Structure 1
Amino acid sequence: MPSRLRRIAAGQPALWTAFVVVHLWLGYDGLTHPNLPFGDVTNVYLPWVEQSLDGYRLGIDGPWVYPVLAFVPMLASLVLGPGLYGIGWMIMVTIADAAVFFYLVTHPRTGAAGRVTRVAAAWWWLVFLLLLGPVAVGRIDIFTVDLVIGGLLLTASRPALAGVLLALATWVKVWPAAVIAAVVLAVRRRMRVAVAALVTLVGVAAGALAFGSGLNAFSFITEQTGRGLQVEAPVSTFWLWAALAGNGSRVYYDFDILTFQVTGPGSDAAAGLMTPLLVVAVAAVLVLAFVVVRSGAAASSVLPPLVLALVMALIVFNKVGSPQFMVWLTAPVILGVVTQGRRFFVPAVLAFVMAGLTQIIYPIGYDWVLGLDPFMLSVLTLRNLLSVAMLALAVVLLWRARRPGGPTHRLASAARSGELTTDITSSETRS
């Protein structure tokens, strides 16, 4: 790219113009696409909010599938009234994304090299959202992702604030709990992160209990344990092809969970095994990370592949395969691009491919997926195989972070001798 174009692309006007255009398109596509990618927003979240405003508080007066703080952005999206709830939702999403985007591209302590990687991460984020499509911003997951990105970028410079943000994200949706474990394991000022996260987690729980929730505040832990295999989950791939072959497997709609699932010989047993396998996979990644950290590896080398490996373990071994799960990838990849630059090129590009395939699956070709179209089943199978490949890649990158004589050991030695900045948002960007 010519130097003039690089300067334009790195400028605030270009970045913010692209940010606005991408969010306008995603909002428009989400609200007008015939397959209703914003269906959860307008057909599920809005009735939940109206039900709560009528006196039955979800997660307080009765069980709910989400942690209690998930209600906050849902309620805030009523800013324009129920008739324009979808637009109100996009306003809240855009504000949340803009706050993180602003910090990413205007961090005052970033040098010239750090500025380059942050701008690259910002552009990567926008392209990824565009490739993933409206589902990226049409689910509650986008708010957890914003909190996690902010928390990860603050782990070294503001560890207590990072712990608070990650804990708040966990009270919106559960998956960021794995990120808290990763940060506490990898960074040097882990106690500040751990204490801040614990105080926040307990504080939110105490607030819910004070409102009279009782055990309903924790109902999200058990509400979905009995569900089957969702169509898009990697483990469901076998039963989809079996259904196409006509051996007794089929796709059906679960009216309790409000999603399409697969059933067939062995599917119930597989559904029962997936949660234990997920726990084992996450534990295995954390044990590997412990070994790597003990070797003296720098946090800025360990944390991005560790979070990526945990996110992919949560996706690959999950019996729920919702397309919005792919937006979780933004947190570790943005951190990896910021801290490691070109060394995170392969995961960043692979994430692009997975995002594009996911949009083809949903919302573009979802009817064909449900109709067991062979081409769309091939697309879904490829996306799921790439998910497994991304998990394997993340594990390899994590292990290489402790390779004797490799760059990680030299960087760790430099960190211990004071030659390397402790700020994870700028460390290693000079390499």
Structure 2
Amino acid sequence: MRNRAVLWVGFVVVHVIVATLGFVLPNEPMGDVYRVYEPWSTAAWEGRGVVGITEHWVYPQLALLPMLIAHGPGVLLGDYTVGWAVMVTAVDAVAFAVLLGRGHSRGRVIAAGFWLIAIVCLGPVGMYRIDGVTVPIAILALLWLVGRPWLASLLLAAATWMKVWPAALLAAALVALRRRSAVVGGAVLVSAAVLASVLVAGGPEHALGFVSGQTGRGLQVEAPISGVFLWGALLGVDGFWVYYDQELLTFQVTGTQVDVVIGAMTPILALAAVGIAALGAVKARRGARFVQLFPVMALSLVTALIVFNKVGSPQFQTWLFPVIVLGLAIDRRRWWMPALVVLAAAALTQLVYPVLYMGILSPEPLAVTVLTVRNLLLVALLVWMVVRLARVPVPPRLLDPVP
């Protein structure tokens, strides 16, 4: 009970501090909330068009739901951004309560402590982005995946229709969990409901706009693959520089053969995901246990989504949190080292954005070096998890009896 009380006090302190840092740190880490989330949701409330329905949108359609909900506490508190922070804190509290339970499980206590430290390490960008809503939903889903697979699948599918990354967790569950029909069924139900709603609302041509919007974009400055071009800009190589994309509202890099790299990244990401899924499927077919297979496969897939992505937004680090939480809850001895790597990557990410971000946009040695180290950590984590996936133990095959 004492551990439980201490962690709940820590939960409140952490969320107050991180929420406040959003207004204190440079480069407006909470800027997306009032610059884009509030206008999008306000327009929808006022009947001036609904993103994802009346126009193409960078996010799946359910991403608008938390943006609309945040107006409730926003009106009560007189500020939409503060309302967003309160909403994210409330969703986190639900997941935290389920994770911690009565505080009797040492693994869950450690996992809860990790999550709080991770929130602090990454800082306000983890709270003031739509990813901040999907992470607690994903944590709930992973905790319920074995005992309540239908509910877990519904939650993961709903989170996927807010931000695509939880699809990696669904894929891992489909491979590693024996009750695959529940995983498929929940995902199909949510997807059918969303697509039917879009159809009824008159926006079928925009239903998958978030997919086409991603395939045509360039290399965001923080993405691991962008490091080559960022170093070129830092060293003054002709044709290499950082620029602002007015349409996507993000900073990107360019340089020699950049179009070739842009075109190659999506197929490479797809091949990496298929390869990891295939390796996991072989292990599952040979009888690997869920508790050993799923966390490693899930983290491999999620890390691949970050490493091979053309986008490298700082909030992507939150995607790593749910699997580490699950890993620590069920086998803390095997997962404390990956947890430390994720915490280090999160802390370096906050150092890059928002603290040193101007040194990325106008490349400076310190900022670019810190970002490079962060990206190398992610690559190392991916390689490590794929190796661990390849080494997941399987029961020995029974030999055919000698006639």
Letter in 1 for 2:262: A
Letter in 2 for 1:44: V
Give the structure 2 partner of residue 424 of structure 1: none
1:25 to 17, 22, 39: 17
Letter in 1 for 2:33: V
Letter in 1 for 2:79: L
Letter in 2 for 1:85: Y
Deviation digits for residues 2-60 of structure 1 (CA, Å, limit 9, x no counterpart): xxxxx74x2x2211110011011111111232310001111111111122223211111
2:92 to 89, 97, 100: 97
What is the correspondence of 1:153-302 to structure 2 with a 5 Å cutoff? Answer: 153-247=143-237, 248-302=239-293
SS class of match (1:251):
strand
Which shows bigger deviation, 245-254 or 189-198?
Answer: 189-198
What is the correspondence of 1:75-90 to structure 2 with a 5 Å cutoff? Answer: 75-79=68-72, 80-81=74-75, 84-90=79-85
**Residues of 2 paired with 1:98 and 1:230: CA distance?**
32
Give the structure 2 partner of residue 303 of structure 1: 294
Which shows bigger deviation, 339-348 or 118-127?
Answer: 339-348
**Residues of 2 paired with 1:238 and 1:211: CA distance?**
44
1:130 to 108, 114, 120: 120
Cα distance, 1:67 vs structure 2: 0.9
SS class of match (1:212):
coil
SS class of match (1:167):
helix
2:50 to 54, 57, 72: 57
Deviation digits for residues 139-195 of structure 1 (CA, Å, limit 9, x no counterpart): 001111122111111111001101100110111011111211110110111211211
**Residues of 1 paired with 2:134 and 2:293: CA distance?**
22
Cα distance, 1:276 vs structure 2: 0.7
1:295–1:402 Cα contact (<8 Å) kept: no
Cα distance, 1:119 vs structure 2: 0.4
**Residues of 2 paired with 1:403 and 1:389: CA distance?**
25
Percent sequence identity over aligned pairs: 46
SS class of match (2:294):
helix
**Residues of 1 paired with 2:330 and 2:286: CA distance?**
20
**Residues of 2 paired with 1:306 and 1:224: CA distance?**
24
Segments of 5+ residues of structure 2 without an aligned counterpart are: 398-403
1:31–1:86 Cα contact (<8 Å) kept: no
Give the structure 2 partner of residue 416 of structure 1: none
Root-mean-square deviation over aligned CA pairs:
1.6
Q: How many residues align?
A: 393
**Residues of 2 paired with 1:208 and 1:14: CA distance?**
45
1:373 maps onto 2:368 in alignment? no
**Residues of 2 paired with 1:60 and 1:120: CA distance?**
42
1:149–1:335 Cα contact (<8 Å) kept: yes
Letter in 1 for 2:18: L
Deviation digits for residues 330-372 of structure 1 (CA, Å, limit 9, x no counterpart): 1110111111111111110111110110000001110112221
**Residues of 2 paired with 1:100 and 1:230: CA distance?**
31
1:145 maps onto 2:135 in alignment? yes
Which TM-score applies when normalising by structure 1? 0.88
Cα distance, 1:280 vs structure 2: 0.5
1:106 to 95, 101, 108: 101
**Residues of 2 paired with 1:307 and 1:142: CA distance?**
19
Segments of 5+ residues of structure 1 without an aligned counterpart are: 1-6, 410-431
**Residues of 2 paired with 1:31 and 1:70: CA distance?**
23
**Residues of 1 paired with 2:371 and 2:353: CA distance?**
10
Deviation digits for residues 192-228 of structure 1 (CA, Å, limit 9, x no counterpart): 1211221121112112211222121221111232111
Letter in 2 for 1:139: R
2:287–2:395 Cα contact (<8 Å) kept: no
Letter in 1 for 2:167: A
Give the structure 2 partner of residue 45 of structure 1: 37
2:287–2:394 Cα contact (<8 Å) kept: no
Give the structure 1 partner of residue 110 of structure 2: 120
Letter in 2 for 1:46: E
Give the structure 2 partner of residue 350 of structure 1: 341
